[in-house]
Each structure stands twice: as structure tokens, then as C-alpha cells.
Chains A and B, each alone.
Chain A
Amino acid sequence: MATRTDNEIRELGPEEWAQLVDDKARALLGMSGEEFERRLNSGEIDIDDSPEITRVAMMLPLNGTSK
């Protein structure tokens, strides 16, 4: 659950963070966050392929253990 202090969200829980990544992946890359993470971890997508890919990839834990 998100923690709110001083009228701003300070922490997002795992599900909320996954939703944030999903929203960003769909908006910037036209795919779900789950598909993006799978393709990134398989090496099909490289983190430096485009600025948009870097943006979404850096929102995931880069040792590939977000689940």
C-alpha cells in the first residue's frame, strides 16, 4: 500500500510499482510491463536501444529479480 506523507506518495508497494511500470511501458513502448520485462531479461531488448527503453528498464530492478 502506498504511504502518504505531506500530501505526496512516498513509497509504492510491489503491485503499485508494477502498475506504474506497466503504464509507462504501454505509453512509451506499446507493450505491457510484463512483456517488456520478459524481453529485456531474455536479451531480446537491450537497455540502450532507445531513450524510451532505458526509461522503462531503469524502473525495473536490473538484476532480473523483480518477482
Chain B
Amino acid sequence: MHRYVVKLLEILQEKKALGIDELIKESKLNKDSVLWALEQLQESGFAKLTKSGKSTPIFSEEGKRYAESKLPEEALLERLGKERVKISDLSPEERIGFQWLKAKGIADVKDGFIILKEVKKIEEGDVLRKLFKDPDSFEEVRKQHPQAIDNLLKRKLISMKSSEVIESVEITPLGEKEKLKQEEEIGELNRNIILSGGWKGKAFKKYDVSLGVEDAEIAKRHPFRSFLDELRDAYVAMGFREISGPIVEPSFWVFDSLFVPQDHPAREMQDTFYLLNPGRMELKEKKLVNRVKDAHEKGWHINWYKEVAEQAVLRTHTTSVSARFIYNLDKRLLASISPVKPLQLFSIGRVFRNESIDYKHLAEFYQTDGIVIGVNLTLANLFDVLKRIYNSIGIEIKFKPSYFPFVEPGVEVEILYNGEWLELGGAGIIRREITGIVSKKIKVLAWGLGVERALMAKNKGIRTITELYNSNLGWIRNKVII
């Protein structure tokens, strides 16, 4: 038996008989639980319940309306007191009133006019209004005015709702003798209970599901790292192949191979990290180095020095990865390129600038480079491919002219961030001075774009670039992943 039943029986064995309110108080259970348990006790013959019946009226729409004003016969009677009324002049409601007056022998028709035969008070009106005011007086009123109540019920102005209420309870002799053990309630489930079937027929302890709890310790990806993967997947979905390359490079791959003149300001030590160890990295690609030297001396009209190109640096852009790929294109891949089948490649990685660090500036950050190698490629193709990639991850971009030594035409890509257009990076068609060394027939669309700003434009929760390099565990645990 349920523990509520056991509890009530224990109380009854001690007190013998008691009122329902007393029982609720004594048992500390709620009313519904007590009523339910009492029914169980009565069914088992352990307790006898004293119930009282009780009826209350329920008013129909019509009944409610009349109770608030008058019955139709009352209204008609009032009118008849003031004027002579033709039967044909009656409103539909007055017709109902007339039927009742006629039935009670109060009124009749003569020569088309209504005549009063006897003046009587309309009992139903008073009864209806009294009940409406005080529904609990129903039983009493019913005793006094049985005919009127009957009429109201017949006219469906009211209906009757009856209910039984347990008033008190007393223990039976059977109940006094009954020795009940409280049934075990199941709290936490365990292997034994599950496997033995011991849970069958038993109650489960109810838990308070509204109680507050602490969050679980969730292990998460770093939000920025997870964005890098989102970006990678966007490229792959567009048919791009991932490539990568070294971070420590001779200047050649970062600058010279990209037609950046040796006296370009970006190459100065205040912008670029040059290295103490290794100070220089030998260039073994002799043929390529000579062709690059020629292109520089012809294009920039200044002497080109191999020693300058061999100075080791931390790459300042991932375009060095693209440069390495372009210059190392093998014959098979070159031959596979057709007007309908360009080669599409991308890389994502860290780049370095010798910056003074503050909340807006970092010495290292991410960049993504993409190249499309094909024939007959145009600026309009470049705009299309960039828009597709960025729009696919929910980022708006636009283009304007700009200058970079290795592309022509040059494009600055701008990103919509908090309603403002900000610089995201550069793009363009790679100069013939570079691609011509590999093949006369190819054209290469290229871009090198910042990654941090793209995430910040997407994730409004991140306000400064330094936050993206925050690896405080509390921050990662609480960061919303979108």
C-alpha cells in the first residue's frame, strides 16, 4: 500500500475518528492526496466516510440575463399595468412572457387585446434573483419554493449540480486490527531494482523538478578555433582544396616572389619580424630566383639582392603559401586546368606583424588566402567567388579599388561590422610578372583576408580582437557557441 494510505490509517488507529480538515492538518498531506488515500481506505473496508450531498444551481445564459433584470412575464405584466396591448404588437420575448401568464391564469386574449384576469406575484422571478445572489441557499429555497424551482429547471433557466463532500471519517473494526507496513518508495534506481523487477508495483519518490541546479561542466571547443573550421568547410563546399605552408620563411616567399620591391616599407623591421635565429635561409631554387630578380629589376628599376631575399622572417601574410603553390605547380596539374575547370585552393593560418600589443592590435593573428588558377578569369569572377564564400557563412562583403604590389587590378574587400564597412583584406588578379614565370596561359585570382574581423562581424558577443586569444577556462565554459 501507498505510504499516504499507511499514514492516514496510523492516524485513524490513534484518533479513531476525525474531521477531514483535521486529518489534512495531522497528516501534513495536501487535500487531494488525503481524499485519494481515504477512498483507498474505504475500499479496503478500513474506514467509514461520512459524506454530505450538496446541490448548487448553474445559470444558463438566458437565466443569467433574466436574473439580472426581469422575467419576460414580469416585464409584460408591468407594461400591461400601463397600457392596453394588442396581441399582435408583442415582441418575441413578450410572447414568451404571455404564454407563462396565460398558463398561470393571469392573462388572456379578448378581441385581439390582452386582458388581465387575476393579479398574482410571479414567484419564479424572486426565486431566480435570490439564487443568483446566493447560490449556496439552493437547498433551503428548494424546500420553500419547490414549484418555482421545478419551473425554472423546466424552462432551462437553471440546471442543478450535485456533489458529495467527505465531512468526516472513522475507523472500522477491521481497520483497527489492520497492521500495515509502510511500502518502500523507490528513490534512486539501481541495477538490482532494474534487473530483479523489484520496481514493479512500487511507487517512485517524487522529486521537486523546479529546484535550481548548477550547470554541468561542459568541455568546449574554443569559439575562434571552431570558426576556423566553419570557414574551412565553407571553402570545401565551394570545391576548394586546403593547402598550408611554413611560418618561418625566407623573405623571398613572403615578399620577393610576390613582386614586393626590396625597398617596400612593409619589409622594414618595424613592421615585419626578422629573425636572429635562423638569421637567413638559403634559397635553393636558383632558376626561379633569377627570374624573380629579372622581373624586379625590370619592373621596379632598382637592384635586387639575393641576400635580402634570404633574410628569415615570420610570414606577414598567408599569401606566401599561395606563392609557393603557384611557383611549384607541376605539369600534370597545369595541364588539368581548363576554362571550365580551374584549380581552387585555400589556406588558413597564423601571420605575424611586429606590433605594439593592445586590445586592438596583436602581433599574431589569422589570415585566409585563396587562389583560383584558371584561364580567362576576370575581376567579375573574383567578386563572385568571394561573395559566395562569405555569404555562405552569413557575412556581407563589398569591394573597392586598392593597391597591392602583387595584384592588378587590386581590390580592397570590406566587411559589414556593426553597420560600418571595415577593411577585411586585399584581393585581385595576380600580376603577370608572377604567374608568367609559371605559365603564359594561366590567370590567378587571389585574396588574403583577415579572419578575426569576420568572426567578430558574425558573433556580436565578441567585442575586441584580444578576446579571441583568451583561453581562460571560465570564459570558454561560458561562451555561447553559435
Do they bind each other?
no
